[in-house]
Chain A
Amino acid sequence: MSRRLFLALALAVAVALAFAASPYASSSPDGLERVATDKGFVERGKLHKAQHHSPIANYAFPGIDDPRLATGVAGFVGTLGVFAVGYGVARAARRTRT
């Protein structure tokens, strides 16, 4: 398998997992949330001002009524977006080499 094909497949697996599996992921609190609840400081958590209008808050893509589809689309868009950001950062870091 060529390196490029392997990377394309790996990206496809990531996108597929984020789109198809994330709607069925556990919605139970994670480790920190659990501890924060048990130890009584969970109510201190709040959104930053800059997060009041987050584009895809809570991993639900806006404008989609079906919650599972909204999560799946958020995963699809997010995974490709993070790939683009990571690729861009790597490209930019490499370009600063003189």
Chain B
Amino acid sequence: MHIPDGFLDPDAAAAAAVVSVGVVGYSLRRAEHELDERRVPLLGVTAAFVFAVQMLNFPVAGGTSGHLLGAALAAILLGPWLACLVMTVVITSQAFVFADGGISALGANVLNMGIVGALGVGYLMVWARHVLPRTRAGFLAIVAGGSWLAVMVGATATSLELALSGTVPLGTVLPAMLGVHALIGIGEAVITVAAVAAVMVSRPDLLTVRGLGRRAGAAPAVGGAA
């Protein structure tokens, strides 16, 4: 759902950029406190993984493709604020190096995928973790629901920006975007649950973030925690 340049009017793009600069700037401030030494390489690896899987478009209905967004996955591994930074690193690299997603639309793309997707849904997953049963099945249900929802709220934000720009009426674009992304979101949920389950069996301590996964302290890092 990377918006290219030309889809948004300059005012909408600028407004989104102002919001994104503020929130990403605050994410950097939060990162000063949330990044312990062990999480620095994890942030790099998560960004690399999100970039890689975003290249892997899978077919969905009717000659359309989708790819993993990775926002929920990043939030589960790193928490909402660091996940917002991960998405910003990926989206900015894609725009400047790969011409994927616009430059003037960069703020909107960070807003849709990094702020609404990773940060917003990340916090929603933290909240859900507190109210739902703290079981393995409950956790994976949150992962699945959060993955699907991150795609849907990103598609909703994209639709709103396109409508505010006068590019296409909301009543036209929103149902179309939600229809196709409901399917893409299912792929997102399946792949994210598989990835999180793989981390759970090998390094469950990587999931002990901000109320997600098991509580910190239950699984001290064993070996190689440099």
A positions within 8 Å CB-CB of B? 1-7, 10-11, 13-15, 17-18, 21-22, 25-32, 34-36, 38-41, 44-48, 50-51, 54-59, 71, 74-75, 78-91, 93-94, 96-97
Residue of A with least CB distance to B169:
A39
A/B interface sample: 22 pairs, CB < 8 A: A3-B203, A6-B206, A11-B45, A14-B52, A17-B52, A25-B56, A26-B65, A31-B64, A32-B2, A41-B168, A48-B5, A56-B98, A59-B98, A82-B89, A82-B90, A82-B93, A86-B45, A87-B41, A93-B28, A93-B31, A93-B85, A94-B35
A41: shortest Cβ distance to chain B, in Å? 5
The answer to whether A30 touches B57 (Cβ under 8 A) is: yes
The answer to whether A31 touches B177 (Cβ under 8 A) is: yes
- In whole angstroms, how far apart are the Cα atoms of A50 and B62 in the complex? 33
Contact count A vs B, C-beta below 8 Å: 224
A34 contact set on B, CB distance < 8 A: 62-64, 180
Residue of B with least CB distance to A30:
B65
Residue of B with least CB distance to A52:
B99
Which of the residues A4, A28, A86 comes within 8 Å of B44, measured between beta carbons? A86
- In whole angstroms, how far apart are the Cα atoms of A91 and B85 in the complex? 12
B59 contact set on A, CB distance < 8 A: 26, 28
A31: shortest Cβ distance to chain B, in Å? 4
- In whole angstroms, how far apart are the Cα atoms of A5 and B44 in the complex? 14
- In whole angstroms, how far apart are the Cα atoms of A97 and B35 in the complex? 10
Asked whether B10 is an interface residue with its Cβ less than 8 Å from the other chain, the reply is no
Interface residues on B, range: 35 or more
Residue of A with least CB distance to B106:
A48
Stretch at the interface among B132-140, B141-149, B217-225: B217-225
The answer to whether B57 touches A28 (Cβ under 8 A) is: yes
Known: A10-B49, A44-B6, A85-B89. A31 touches B97 (CB 8 A): no
- In whole angstroms, how far apart are the Cα atoms of A25 and B67 in the complex? 9
The answer to whether A6 touches B202 (Cβ under 8 A) is: yes
A28: shortest Cβ distance to chain B, in Å? 4
B171: shortest Cβ distance to chain A, in Å? 11
Asked whether B16 is an interface residue with its Cβ less than 8 Å from the other chain, the reply is no
The answer to whether A10 touches B100 (Cβ under 8 A) is: no
The answer to whether B99 touches A57 (Cβ under 8 A) is: yes
B183: shortest Cβ distance to chain A, in Å? 8
Asked whether B47 is an interface residue with its Cβ less than 8 Å from the other chain, the reply is yes
- In whole angstroms, how far apart are the Cα atoms of A23 and B65 in the complex? 14
The answer to whether B7 touches A36 (Cβ under 8 A) is: yes
The answer to whether B64 touches A97 (Cβ under 8 A) is: no
A50 contact set on B, CB distance < 8 A: 96, 103
Asked whether B122 is an interface residue with its Cβ less than 8 Å from the other chain, the reply is no
Asked whether B211 is an interface residue with its Cβ less than 8 Å from the other chain, the reply is no
